[in-house]
Amino acid sequence: MRWIVGLSLLLVLGGCAAEATPAEKTGSGEIRHDLDPLIERFSQLGEPESAEWRSGTIGSDRVPGPSLYWIDAVIELSADDYQQLATAYELEKAAVPDAEVGLPEGPLLRSDELDAAFSLDEYRSNVYLDEASRSLVLLTQFE
């Protein structure tokens, strides 16, 4: 009889467990075009020509502790800076990621090594290159 009660309790408690949902990106919705904040964080960009980007936090601001920030950017590089990045890494075609900015049509190219080059210190980045627009797509998170 005890095992029936124990099993019933386990089933009830198991049914109460909430399914984990991924934390959502929040932000002001403002589309930015200023380059200095991007260049200060990512010197690997060289001297970009233009950018469209958004930023914000991930999760709830009601939870205490450090905040996790995000930046989604499409950055048009100079011809030399684009060529330097495109030839420094063995790139492969990639699916278009979800982002909070308008992405180039692609095809986009990426590599783990390129991601690592933009994932210094507290930054964790996914980076894509688009040859047609000489753009670098930067999706990064940091504390």
pLDDT digits (tens, 9 = 90+) for 27-59: 666 899 999 999 999 999 999 999 999 999 887
Q: What is the pLDDT at residue 137?
A: 97
Cis status, amide bond into 107, omega within 30 of 0: yes
Q: What is the pLDDT at residue 67?
A: 80
- For residues 61 and 49, the answer to whether their CB atoms sit within 8 Å is no
Please name which of 63, 124, 126, 76 lies closest in space to residue 98, comparing C-alpha atoms: 126
Task: Pick out the chain residues at pLDDT < 50.
Answer: 1-21
What are the DSSP E strand ranges found in 1-142? 25-26, 50-58, 68-76, 92-94, 108-110, 124-130, 135-142
Map out the domains of the chain as residue ranges: 23-142
Q: What is the pLDDT at residue 80?
A: 97
Q: What is the pLDDT at residue 58?
A: 84
Core vs surface per residue 2-13: b (16+ CB within 10 A) or e: eeeeeeeeeeee
Q: What is the pLDDT at residue 60?
A: 61
Q: What is the pLDDT at residue 65?
A: 59
Core vs surface per residue 114-134: b (16+ CB within 10 A) or e: bbebbbeeebbbbbbbbeebb
Alpha helices, DSSP H, located in the chain: 2-16, 36-41, 79-88, 112-117
Q: What is the pLDDT at residue 39?
A: 97
